[in-house]
């Protein structure tokens, strides 16, 4: 057997250009020059993304008895974000160049240039740090202003009048909408603690410096689940969800050495959090957060209760006591997860690029080809195989008759199995099944084909 030299991904730019060429992800508004921090998903990308979301939803909601889902709006009442603390403190430290007016995140400058983590550091200290180390504009070497707060929420107005009374925000996270629906969900679904509410949806952050392809973008999707618990059960469920979520990535093919937990130190904890841990993936540029597991205490429900004047407490039937539930949150970025799965799967071998995705995530599960395009019997046979398989799987049918090229195209988009109908098929009523990873071929009887594939794709 020939020795395969497998090259993993070298840079995120390499992946971005591959994603564009192979129809996974395109820069948004490209014909108008694009806009930083916005990406559209193409024909292959939308399938992969939907499969990631479906796998998450199945494991978090459908496979469990204690979690239900919702889907809430993205244009939000301003009170939500005042109560949550986002209006006051969902900010990044920003500095401007006094000469060319470029803007930078002060924390990124400190990290990239000085290798100092300034999370939680007061703004004056950040300013002093940058000045003492003579950090200057990255474009023109000009002098930088003092660090100041910059709110990341997109603001808009509801209705025809642009006044302060009509302000609304595009939600910067999906979590708050779950808290607002807590009572309605609990009553209508008759749930008892502990239980969870899950949501997948879009969120928006006006990032100063979008970067690293899909990693830091301005419009993105989140997969979040808020688990409501009795006060005192925090530690137990925090540990349980940490483990569950890590296992989810492992079960879908990410290697253990490319994942890690990173505990937040006290100064970087968000204003609501009692404990927090990130699940990080080893991207080509280094470790980056793909999910957060947070112990939010009872901060969120208490705040909304206080600001709205509505009671959001829970009555424990057995103990006849009333209290505000605590919350353990698991919050994953769909786009970041997508990026992690792509980085993990992408490999260049001697004569091909191959995406070794877990078959559950592959955009297409099976591709069917007639060996030649000019023999009606073979084309018809292949057409029948396709019609039969598409009832059970996502199948691609390619009549071009150029098998070598067709295999390469399917390898690139991660299709686990390619089926070829040849002259022998007509006599023996069988086909060849080619495995994406090993490139080995095997003959399988047509009547056993669906069962064989089903078993392989499990
Ligand atoms: Zn400048």
Look at residue 109 and tell me if it is in a domain.
yes
CA of 104 to the centre of ligand 1 (A): 10
Average pLDDT of the chain to the nearest whole number = 94
Give Dmax over CA atoms of the chain in angstroms.
81
- Is 11 among the domain residues? no
Residues 337 and 396 in one domain: no
- 299 and 199 together in one domain: yes
Distance 94 CA to ligand 1 centre (A): 14
Residue from 222, 332, 221, 199 nearest 278 by CA = 332
Helix (H, G, I), strand (E, B), or coil: what is residue 160? coil
| 305, 312 contact by CB (below 8 A) | yes
| pLDDT tens sequence across 287-346 | 999 999 999 999 999 999 999 999 999 999 999 999 999 999 999 999 999 999 999 999
Residue ending a domain, among 151, 182, 198, is 151
- Residue 388 CA to ligand 1 center (angstroms) comes to 62
**What is the arithmetic mean of pLDDT over 164-176?**
94
CA-nearest of 90, 403, 99, 67 to 225 is 67
Is residue 330 located within the same domain as residue 433? no
Q: Residue 19 pLDDT > 70, yes or no?
A: yes
Per-residue model confidence as pLDDT tens digits over 175-195: 999 999 999 999 998 899 999
Confirm whether 48 is domain-assigned. Answer: yes
Residue 127's domain is classified under what CATH number? Answer: 3.30.40.230
- In this structure, the answer to whether residues 102 and 204 fall within a common structural domain is no
The pLDDT, as a whole number, for residue 89 is: 84
Nearest to 321 by CA among 233, 184, 193: 193
Is 106 in contact with 96 (CB distance < 8 Å)? Answer: no
Single residue among 125, 151, 177 that ends a domain in this structure = 151
Query: Does residue 353 sit within a domain?
Result: no
Residue 95 CA to ligand 1 centre (angstroms): 11
User: Is the Cβ–Cβ distance between 374 and 39 less than 8 Å?
Assistant: no
Listed residue (40, 15, 79) closest to 221, CA to CA = 40
**320 and 227 inside one domain:** yes
In a domain, 330, yes or no: yes
**Residues in a beta bridge with 328:** 227, 295
One domain, residues 131 and 177:
no
Question: Quick check: is 134 in a domain?
Answer: yes
Q: Is residue 1 part of a domain?
A: no
Query: Do 217 and 207 touch, CB atoms closer than 8 A?
Result: yes
Question: pLDDT exceeding 90 applies to what percent of the chain?
Answer: 86
266 band by pLDDT with thresholds 50, 70 and 90: confident
What is the number of domains present in the chain?
A: 3
Please tell me the distance between residue 108's alpha carbon and the centre of ligand 1 in angstroms.
Answer: 16
Q: Is residue 195 part of a domain?
A: yes
Q: Is the pLDDT of residue 1 over 50?
A: no
Identify the helix (H) or strand (E) that includes residue 435: strand 430-435
Give the phi and the psi of residue 289 in degrees, each rounded to 5: -70, 130
Same-domain check for residues 277 and 398: no
Q: Is the peptide bond before 194 cis (omega within 30 degrees of 0)?
A: yes
DSSP element (H, E) containing 383? helix 376-389
Q: Are residues 341 and 368 in the same domain?
A: no
Q: Report the CATH number that the domain containing residue 387 is assigned in CATH.
A: 3.40.50.800
* Domain containing residue 131: 91-151
The CA 106 to ligand 1 mean position distance, Å, reads: 14
Tell me: do 322 and 446 sit in the same domain.
no
Rounded to the nearest whole angstrom, what is the distance from the C-alpha of residue 103 to the centroid of ligand 1? 8
pLDDT at 435: 97
Do 277 and 249 share a structural domain?
Answer: yes
CATH number, position 326: 3.30.930.10
Expressed in angstroms and rounded, the spacing between residue 154 Cα and the centre of ligand 1 is 25
CA separation for the pair 432, 376 (Å, rounded): 19
DSSP conformation class of 61: I
Q: If you measure from the C-alpha of residue 50 to the centroid of ligand 1, how many angstroms do you get, rounded to a whole number?
A: 42
Q: What pLDDT does residue 3 have?
A: 54
Q: How many CB atoms lie within 10 A of CB 221?
A: 21
337 shares a domain with 282: yes
* 336 in the same domain as 444: no
């Amino acid at each position: 057997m020939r020795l395969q030299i497998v090259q993993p991904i070298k840079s995120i730019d390499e992946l971005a250009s591959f994603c564009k060429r192979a129809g996974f992800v395109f820069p948004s508004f490209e014909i108008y020059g694009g806009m930083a921090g916005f990406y559209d998903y193409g024909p292959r990308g939308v399938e992969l993304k939907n499969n990631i979301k479906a796998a998450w939803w199945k494991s978090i909601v459908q496979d469990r008895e204690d979690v239900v889902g919702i889907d809430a709006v993205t244009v939000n009442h301003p009170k939500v974000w005042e109560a949550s603390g986002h209006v006051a403190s969902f900010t990044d430290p920003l500095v401007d160049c006094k000469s060319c007016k470029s803007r930078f995140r002060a924390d990124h400058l400190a990290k990239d240039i000085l290798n100092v983590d300034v999370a939680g550091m007061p703004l004056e200290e950040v300013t002093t740090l940058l000045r003492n180390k003579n950090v200057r504009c990255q474009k023109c070497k000009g002098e930088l202003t003092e660090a100041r707060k910059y709110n990341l929420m997109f603001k808009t107005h509801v209705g025809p009048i642009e006044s302060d009374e009509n302000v609304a925000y595009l939600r910067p996270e999906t979590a708050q909408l779950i808290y607002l629906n807590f009572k309605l969900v609990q009553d209508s679904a008759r749930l008892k603690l502990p239980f969870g509410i899950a949501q997948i949806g879009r969120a928006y952050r006006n990032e100063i410096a979008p970067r690293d392809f899909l990693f830091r973008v301005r419009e993105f999707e989140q997969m979040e689940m808020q688990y409501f618990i009795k006060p005192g059960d925090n530690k137990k469920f925090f540990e349980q969800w940490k483990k569950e979520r890590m296992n989810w990535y492992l079960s879908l093919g990410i290697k253990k050495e490319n994942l890690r937990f990173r505990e937040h130190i006290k100064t970087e904890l968000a204003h609501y959090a009692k404990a927090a841990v990130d699940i990080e993936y080893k991207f080509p540029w280094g470790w980056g957060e793909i999910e957060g597991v947070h112990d939010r205490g009872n901060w969120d429900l208490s705040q909304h209760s206080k600001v709205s004047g509505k009671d959001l407490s829970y009555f424990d039937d057995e103990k006849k006591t009333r209290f505000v539930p605590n919350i353990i949150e698991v919050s994953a970025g769909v786009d970041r997860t997508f990026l992690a799965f792509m980085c993990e799967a992408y490999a260049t071998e001697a004569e091909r690029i191959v995406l070794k995705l877990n078959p559950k995530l592959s955009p297409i599960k099976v591709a069917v080809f007639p060996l030649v395009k000019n023999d009606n019997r073979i084309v018809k046979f292949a057409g029948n195989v396709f019609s039969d398989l598409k009832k059970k799987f996502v199948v691609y049918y390619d009549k071009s008759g150029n098998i070598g090229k067709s295999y390469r195209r399917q390898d690139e988009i991660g299709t686990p199995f390619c089926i070829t109908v040849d002259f022998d098929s007509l006599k023996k009523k069988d086909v060849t099944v080619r495995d994406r990873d090993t490139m080995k071929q095997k003959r399988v009887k047509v009547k056993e084909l669906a069962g064989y594939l089903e078993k392989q794709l499990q």
